[in-house]
Structure 1
Amino acid sequence: MSVYKSFAVVGGGHIGLPILAALAAKNAAVILLSRPGTSTKTGIPSGVPVIQVDFSDAAAVAAVLKEHNVDVVVSTISGTAIMAQKPLVDAAKLAGVKLFVPSEYGMASNAHTAEVLGGQNTIAAYLKSAGVPSTRIYAGTKCGVIQVGLFTEFIPWLFEDGKLKVIRGKGDIPVSFTSIPDMSGFVAHVLTTVPPSELEDRTLRLEGERSSFNGLAAQFTNISVEHVDSIAGEGADFKALLLQALATGPGSSGWDGARKAEGTRNNAAGSANALSPGHQWQTIKQVHKL
C-alpha cells in the first residue's frame, strides 16, 4: 500500500479540479493551492481547503505544505507557465515532500529541448538535481488550447468545417487519446494505492484508446480526412505544427524522442494502464456518444 496520505494539488484548471475531486473521493487529505487573487473555482469538493499563496515564494509555499503535512505535490500548472514550477520544487524540498508530480499529462516530453516540452524536461532535471522524487505522466498529444493534453474530450478541436486536415503523411500514424476522468482517476488511484518504489522517478505512459487520423474520421461519421499543404483560421500556426508533429509519431504516449521510435515494455504506450487493474478505459465512441 502507498504511504502517501496527504496531497496538494497546484492549480484548479481542466485537469487540476478533476484530480482534486478524484483524490477527495478516496477520502484522501487534499488541499488546493491557487495564486492570490484567483477567483473561487466551482466544482471544488466540500471540505477541501483552498489556499492562496504566491507560487514564486518558495518559503511561503513550503510553510503551507508543512502546515498540512503534505506528502505529494501534484502540479497542474499550464504549459505557458511551466517554468513557474521551479520555486514549487524548492518548496517541496524545504517541506520534505516525498513525491512531486510535475505538470505534463500530454505528449511524451523526453529528449525535447524547445518550448513547453523542453520546459518540462528542464523541470524534470531540476527535480532530480534537488533530490525530490518525481513521477512523470504521459497520456498522448499536446493541445495548445488547454495546455495540459489533448484529452479524448477535446478531439473536435482538431476538426474544421467537417474536415480533419492532414498536412504530412497518410493519416495512418497512431495517436494516444485518454479521457479526463480516466486520467484524473488514474492519478488518484496510483498515488493512494501503489507503493512508492513503483512511482519514484518513474515515467507512466497511459493510453485510453489508440487511433490514427484516418481512424478518427471513421468513428466521427460526419468528418472526413483532407490532405492539405497548410491551414488557416484561429490558432492555425500552432495547429499546423501539431498536426505535422503527430504525423511522425510523437502523439503516442510511448514515443521516445531520443530514439524517434515507439518505446517497448515499461516505455510502451499504455504500459502504465496495468497499475489500475480492472479499470475500463473510456473509448472515443463512449466519450462522444458516437
Structure 2
Amino acid sequence: MSVRPVLETRNATPHLEGAGVHLHRAFGFQDPSELDPFLLFDDFRNEDPNQFEKGFPWHPHRGIETITYVLNGEVDHGDSLGNTGTLGAGDVQWMTAGSGILHQEMPRGNAKGQMHGFQLWANLPSSLKMTAPRYQDVEGKDIPEIIDDDGTRVKVIVGAFWGKSGPVDGIAADPQYLDIYVPPGVTKTLPVDTYRRAFAYVFEGAGQFVDASQPEGVLLEKEIAGREVHMRDMSGNRTLVRFGTGDSVTVQAGPEGVRFLLISGAPIQEPVAWHGPIVMNTQAELQQAFSDLRRGTFIQPV
C-alpha cells in the first residue's frame, strides 16, 4: 500500500454565519480545486446557546449538496418543498440542492446547552446542477459501526468500508464519509481509493499521521514531517489534515486516543463560479440564479 503524503495541516478559523452562529471553518471560499469535489467544511461546536440558537434562517442553495452530521444537540430544518424535521445526536442529512431550494436550519443545545455538528458542501457536476432537489435524512441508529479487534471504531456514513456500506447513496461526488476513533497508542492503516481527494478533520484527542516518505507504520519524530495533530477538549483547536495521492493513510493515536472524520471524493474538475450558497460553472449561470431569486422563479415546479 502507498501511504498518502500529508500536504498540509491547518486549524479551523472562527467565523460568524447565519443570524449569528459562531463556528469554525476548516476550508471554504478559497481555491475550489484544492479539495475538489468539496467546497466548504464547517464545525459548529459551542456550549453557549446565545452563540448558535439564532441559527440559519431561510436561505437559498443551487448547484451543490450539503451534508449535515450532528454529534450533540438538535437541528430543526424546513424547506420550500414543505419538508420539515429534526436531526438529533448521531443523525445525518444529505441535501441535494440541485436546481434550487430555500431552507432553514435552527440548532438547539442538548440538556447541558451543548451543540456540536459539522456541515460539508460537495459540488455538483454541470450535468446535475439543475437536477431536482431531494433529501436523505438518516437516523444515527441506521449508520453501521465497525469495531476492529484493536478497538478502532468506524462509523460508515457514506460509501463502503471494511465490508459495510453507509445508508446515504446516489451522491454525485462518489464520496466516502467516515467517523473514526483509534484507541490510545494504536497505529492504524486505513484504505482510501487512489482516485479520490482526501482529508481528515481531527476533533478529539491527538494523533500523528505518517508521511509518505517513510515506510508504512514508521512515525516521524519531527513535528513538521510527522504532522502531529493535537486536539484537546470542546474548547481545543480543530485541525484539518489534507492528503496527497496514495491508497491509504496511517495514523497513530496519542495517549487519549484520536477521533476524526476521514472524507474523500472523486474530483469533478470543472470550472466553478461561486457566490455564497450558490455554485455554478459560469458567471452567466451565477447571474441567472440571482436573477431567478429576485424574480421569484428560483424554485422550479415539482
TM over 0.5: no
Normalised to the residue count of structure 2, the TM-score between the two structures is 0.25
TM-score where L is the length of structure 1: 0.26
The structure with the largest strand share of the pair is 2
Bigger relative contact order, structure 1 or 2, given CA contacts below 8 A and separation 6+?
2
